[in-house]
């Protein structure tokens, strides 16, 4: 049984690329890895990640899970990627092959903006 009928959103998967600047620094750019990822987005209820910054301020970031087919293209997604879906930019934190049967992928993400 396929989950394709439940995939109601289209997202863009972006790959992180570090490039050198003329001042010998490093600049992060994002290039498209997958232009149209059919997926379903679910907010993890009651879960958030608390983080402290260098000034002691605590921030809670929303935790999301994305579901998609386990195609060879989708299996190319890695933890350093980010996914843009609806108005959210999500940082990939984990990728799981549900039941290890190549049926669908479950991708854990943190909202960054």
Span 44-93, pLDDT tens digits? 765 555 555 556 666 667 889 999 999 999 999 999 999 999 999 999 99
For residues 6 and 22, give the distance between their C-alpha atoms in angstroms, rounded to a whole number: 47
Q: What is the CATH number of the domain that holds 49?
A: 2.40.10.370
Count of the separate structural domains present in the chain: 1
- 26, pLDDT greater than 60: yes
| Residues in CB range of 89: below 8 A, 6 or more apart | 82, 83, 111, 112, 113
pTM for this one? Answer: 0.80
Give the domain extent around 30: 4-111
């Amino acid at each position: 049984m396929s989950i394709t009928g439940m995939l109601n959103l289209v997202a863009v998967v972006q790959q992180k690329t570090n490039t050198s600047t003329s001042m010998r620094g490093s600049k992060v750019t994002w290039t498209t890895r997958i232009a149209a990822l059919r997926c379903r987005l679910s907010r993890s209820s009651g879960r958030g990640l608390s983080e402290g910054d260098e000034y002691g301020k605590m921030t809670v970031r929303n935790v999301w899970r994305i579901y998609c087919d386990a195609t060879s293209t989708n299996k190319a997604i890695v933890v350093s990627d980010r996914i843009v879906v609806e108005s959210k930019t999500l940082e990939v934190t984990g990728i799981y092959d549900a039941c290890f049967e190549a049926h669908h992928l479950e991708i854990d993400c943190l909202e960054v903006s």
